[in-house]
Amino acid sequence: MGVLMEVKNLVTRFYTQEGVVYAVNDVSYVLNERETLGVVGESGSGKSVHALSIMRLIAMPPGKIEKGEVLFQGRDLLKLKNEEMRLVRGAEIAMIFQDPMTSLNPVLTIGTQITEALKLHMGMDNKAATERAAELLTMVGIPDAKRRLKNFPHQFSGGMRQRVMIAMALSCNPKLLIADEPTTALDVTIQAQIIELIKNLRDQFGMAIIWISHDLGVVAGLSDTVQVMYGGRIVERGPVEEVFGDTRHPYTLGLLRSLPRHDTSNNRERLVQIEGAPPDMRKPPTGCPFAPRCTYKIAKCEEQMPPLMPGPEAHEEHLKACWIDVRNGQPLPEAMETQHV
């Protein structure tokens, strides 16, 4: 599998009246073709802003992509002209959002909205576009597609609207689908339907997916690679079995321990809670953003942000940004070395 996209040192900030929000701080990773990357984090972790930065959908001002590169098939998206970027959005990279009602235009029929992209990016005429639109709706499991094309967004339920969004996103066979919390607003039985649909379409279309979620369960079931974000940084990243099975960052570990499970009994034990609250990104801590809440922390954690590095005896693609070996709570040699430099 070849490299599809490379994000290098991405930094995004918002210049608001209350101060500068350091939303994304030096995020770098490689996404392969056909890879599903799950991005996990809480509100304010920078997971959504990083995706919007890739799509160049950050409102500027107040937002600003300060630096970095987003090499999509070798081209730096951040250097494209606006008109060039418009040809990338929808055609090569598509995005679906949490709330399908606010992402659809309420005064246009579903048909008009799906065919718009087909006509713009694929050069189809009205008839061909309408036919393709009906095919797409059938594919995402909307019955009676021809008739439904004439309906308006409010005539669909939440789950159906998300299916319409998916149909629109896939209309031009994108190579990358970015899904920003697409099932968060849906009920679990509908969420299961949508995830099943996405899994089938992923294999059918051969596209890569960046799936952004706060739900570790959804990400566990869907992703090849997981990336945990906190305070605008990647704190842990690796193959899904490694991140969940051989967790190396105290934040990921804390999250997994704090979650009760419905498939095992005897979970009436007190939950292991993470103390404190996520950092205010207007005043990010100087060192590791998790240090103020971390039970393993040493002095160095508050002084210097650890780089993303493989842990001792961990899978080579399994990286974490932490000075500590969470398996024994001891500082890593890297933490000691740099201290004396």
Partner 1 sequence: MSSAPAAAPAATTHDAQGRELVVSVSNLKKHFPISSGVIVQRQVGAVKAVDGVSFNVYKGETLGLVGESGCGKSTTGRTVLQLYKPTAGSVKFEGHELTTMGGNELRNMRRKMQMIFQDPFASLNPRMSVGNIVSEPLKIHNVIQNKVELQEYVEALLQRVGLNPYYVNRYPHEFSGGQRQRIGIARALALRPTFIVADEPISALDVSIQAQVVNLLEDLQEEFNLTYLFIAHDLSMVRHICDRVAVMYLGKIVEIGPTDVVYDNPLHPYTQALLSAVPVPDPMVERNRQRIILKGDVPSPARPPVGCNFNTRCPVALSGICYQDPDPELVEMEPGHFVACHRVTPF
Q: By the criterion CB under 8 A, which residues form the site for partner 1?
A: 42-43, 157, 159-160, 187-193, 195-196, 214-221, 223, 240-241, 244-245, 251, 254-256, 258-263, 265, 267-268, 270-275, 277-278, 293
CB of 274 to partner 1, least distance (A): 4
Query: CA 295 to CA 275: how far, in whole Å?
Result: 9
Closer CB to partner 1, residue 210 or residue 218?
218
Question: Mind giving me the DSSP string for 158-191?
Answer: HHHHHHHHHHHHHTT--SEEEEESTTTTS-HHHH
CB of 226 to partner 1, least distance (A): 9
SS3 297: coil
Closer CB to partner 1, residue 76 or residue 187?
187
Query: CA 115 to CA 146: how far, in whole Å?
Result: 13
Closer CB to partner 1, residue 239 or residue 331?
239
CB of 190 to partner 1, least distance (A): 7
CB of 24 to partner 1, least distance (A): 18
Query: CA 57 to CA 224: how far, in whole Å?
Result: 26
Question: Mind giving me the DSSP string for 71-98?
Answer: EETTEEGGGS-HHHHHHHBTTTEEEE-S
CA atoms within 13 A on the CB side of 20: 10
Closer CB to partner 1, residue 102 or residue 267?
267
CB of 66 to partner 1, least distance (A): 26
Closer CB to partner 1, residue 57 or residue 190?
190
CB of 26 to partner 1, least distance (A): 22
Q: Which residues contact 225 (CB under 8 A, 6 or more apart)?
A: 35, 36, 37, 38, 237, 238, 239, 240, 317
Does residue 97 contact residue 91 with C-beta atoms inside 8 Å? Answer: no
CB of 273 to partner 1, least distance (A): 4
Closer CB to partner 1, residue 66 or residue 215?
215
CB of 258 to partner 1, least distance (A): 4
SS3 133: helix
Maximum pairwise Cα distance, the chain: 71
- Ramachandran sector of residue 26 (left: φ over 0; alpha: ψ -120 to 50; beta: rest): left
Closer CB to partner 1, residue 221 or residue 307?
221
Closer CB to partner 1, residue 158 or residue 331?
158
- Specify the pairing of strand 208-213 against strand 75-76: unpaired
Q: Which of 293, 231, 249, 242 is nearest to 47 (CA)?
A: 231
